[in-house]
Amino acid sequence: MLEPLSQEQRFLSALRTGDWPASERAWRIDEVDLTPAELIELFETQLMSRHLDLHARRLQARGEAFYTIGSAGHEGNAAIARAFRHTDPAFLHYRDAAFLLQRSRSVPGQTPLWDLLLSFAASAEDPISGGRHKVLGSKALHVPPQTSTIASHLPKAMGASYGIGLWRRLGGGGEWPADSVVICSFGDASFNHSTAQGALNAAGWAAYQGIPMPLVMVCEDNGIGISTPTPKGWIEASMRARPGFHYLSCDGLDLLDTWHAAREAERIARRHRQPVFLHMRCVRLFGHAGSDAQQAYLAPARIKADEARDPLLVSAGLLQRHGVLDTDAIGALYHSVAERVAYVAEEAIRRPKLETAEQVMTSIVPPIRASRARSWQGEVDATPAPMAKLLNQALIRLMARYPHLVMAGEDIGRKGGVYGVTQRLQAQFGPHRVIDTLLDEQSILGLGIGLGQNGLVPILEIQFLAYLHNAEDQLRGEAATLSFFSNGQYTNPMVVRIAGLGYQKGFGGHFHNDNAIAVLRDIPGLLVACPSNAADAVGLLQEAVRLAEEEQRVVVVLEPIALYHARDLHEEGDQQWCFADPGPEHRLPMGEPGQWGEGRQLAILTYGNGVYLSRQAAARLEAEGVEARIVDLRWLTGIDHDEVYRRVEGCEQILVVDECRRSGSPSEELVTALVERGVAGERLHRLTAEDSFIPLGRAATVTLPSVAAIVEQGLRLASPSMKRNEAAVKTADKVSAGSNEA
């Protein structure tokens, strides 16, 4: 508390002496088209933000508040908020309380101090997150909450901006007006994150080609990231000549200079539909957070110099020099805001908190909305075909039925995808609905999140599962958390198609044969489907789109590459892995497994390539007298374990065939769930991939389950049963013989 108290005393001392620091630019109020009353309003907003920071620390010391990353030193962003419409979506940096407070003045009935203090106190009545996190957000103010703003929100801001122009081409619609501008703010340290650089590159890449990108990226440069300094001049040198961007800068300590630059940024972005990088120089006061003792890494002279650059001191000096408020009026306003914050805080900390797991988890799954799908009027080609062909037919139908559905990914348009799944779609629906993206998975997923947040339903393609890992946080930290941290008020429904898993022939290596799916299965709220055959692929994809459209879910469809073009099952030319298109209404509900066979000696639980291999193994087992059934999970999250149990309950032995690695695989969950339902351990067995990467060449499948391994284990497991059956037959024969002799 020493630094905050010191800074408060510094302001009070300046009130007594009138010793206010001067701003860099000597703007007059009339030069920047700002009235005295409007300047007072901005200053009051700054004071509200500062006193929230101060009081959060007081409440934390009492055990009543739980968040102390404050906005002190960044309060100049109040002027940025005033330069934009309240309907312009704003993805905010966590030091932007003043932005939210100022924007709330544009909408009647707002209670921002109350709302933010409820958030500090983690109250269940917090109107944005319901007590799940301290976030800056408001549905009424078009501020989606950000919880991990170390650059992870920049890709979706880019996507939201792209979506505004896309809605125009689609004839109108979306969550925000057609002439909106997207604002996205972040710090100078976050600027260096690969996610930030990818988003800036994607926005500039699109704008460079003339694609509308009404976006203002606000870099709040306080010169330090926790304890690591940002090299002087680095941000400007990196962005001043960046292709596709307009670069503007301002002194964030000076409300007039910030207001002037923000208005120019707004004008360029709204009128020309081009991205702007607004570089706002500011200062960080009070350390990174309440627990951060910056005396450990900053020299006393540096801390003292930063304190002297307090934007509240600069703003008070502006007010006095321009004759807007005298020292007494400034002091009275300062104290009245402090009293107001303290009073509201005492009420806020008494409000109810989250108490149960059910309360916490209730917003993981988004709310349901009405479908906008059209009926399908075309014909269905019922000619049996492999998975890639039927997926292509299903995508054509879906694009026709859902006019707000958009596809995006690398090489999906003109090329038709690496495996031909998206052939002819761009020619039929246009490049604005089938988008060839740049090579950056973070930007692809961020594009989808932004489009989904703006009322579209994106189907994204990630070329290979291994390529997801460098962008996985877009699913974990952004897409899957939005409903949770906004109490269901904000959603970003989407479908992500990922080509993956092993067993490819002739084209492989680790990055094209990846069986690491644990990265997807442990994300709360994320759904993962995995088809084993063409008909199921259609049913799962069509259900995934329905889930995104109506239930606003984020769904991953993991498509086995090796089965895209598989036609034969047992021998060349038998065409037994070609299936008829089940049609537009065929959907496979979440958690519903499939089944092949009714054998009771052995139940094989599997998915994806495992089903194909197990079907081949089952034929060999049958020739050896072993009757098997195969249960196809289809869904790798949201598994209906009670239904799985019913499918295997009457079987003597249960074998889980899992092409994922032994550690972190679905088989771990399956075995645990069956044991919890009373299945004896000696009946349960696993055949999994090794905990290994997949190599190139002839060794590409040696770490994976095989037909031979399934047959070998099936025979071993069934042999006691077969011996019992043989003994029973012999006993029956003896009884029968004795009866005949009698």
List, by residue number, the catalytic residues.
512
> Reduced to 3 states, what is the DSSP secondary structure of residue 435?
strand
Q: Are 628 and 604 in contact (CB under 8 A)?
A: yes
Calpha distance 57→64 (Å, rounded):
10
> Reduced to 3 states, what is the DSSP secondary structure of residue 91?
strand
Q: Are 414 and 436 in contact (CB under 8 A)?
A: yes
Residue environment code for 223-249, b if the CB has 16+ CB neighbours within 10 A, otherwise e: bbbeeeebeeeebbebbeebebbbebb
Amino acid at 340: R
> Reduced to 3 states, what is the DSSP secondary structure of residue 227?
coil
At a CB cut-off of 8 Å and minimum separation 6, what does 109 contact?
none
Calpha distance 272→274 (Å, rounded):
5
> Reduced to 3 states, what is the DSSP secondary structure of residue 59?
helix
Calpha distance 86→585 (Å, rounded):
41
Calpha distance 169→165 (Å, rounded):
7
- Checking 521-525 for CB contacts under 8 A at 24+ apart, the result is 521/636, 521/637, 521/664, 521/666, 521/669, 523/475, 523/476, 523/480, 524/361, 524/364, 524/480, 524/484, 525/364, 525/365, 525/480, 525/483, 525/484, 525/553, 525/554
Torsion of CA 264, 269, 274, 279, to 10 degrees: 50
Calpha distance 90→120 (Å, rounded):
21
At a CB cut-off of 8 Å and minimum separation 6, what does 324 contact?
29, 36, 39, 40, 318
| Ramachandran angles phi, psi of 90, nearest 5° | -125, 120
**How far, in Å, are 528, 566, 719 from residue 700 at the CA level?**
25, 18, 31
At a CB cut-off of 8 Å and minimum separation 6, what does 81 contact?
90, 98, 99, 100, 102, 103
**How far, in Å, are 185, 216, 256, 319, 482 from residue 80 at the CA level?**
10, 10, 10, 18, 25
Bridge partners, residue 278, by sequence: 218, 248
Calpha distance 609→90 (Å, rounded):
44
Q: Are 422 and 434 in contact (CB under 8 A)?
A: yes
Name the one residue in this structure whose structure tokens are 């321009």.
322
**How far, in Å, are 223, 570, 599, 612 from residue 630 at the CA level?**
61, 16, 9, 10
Q: Are 487 and 130 in contact (CB under 8 A)?
A: yes
| Ramachandran angles phi, psi of 169, nearest 5° | -70, -25
Q: Are 239 and 279 in contact (CB under 8 A)?
A: yes
CA 358 to chain CA mean position, Å = 22
At a CB cut-off of 8 Å and minimum separation 6, what does 267 contact?
none
CA 594 to chain CA mean position, Å = 30
Calpha distance 271→255 (Å, rounded):
24
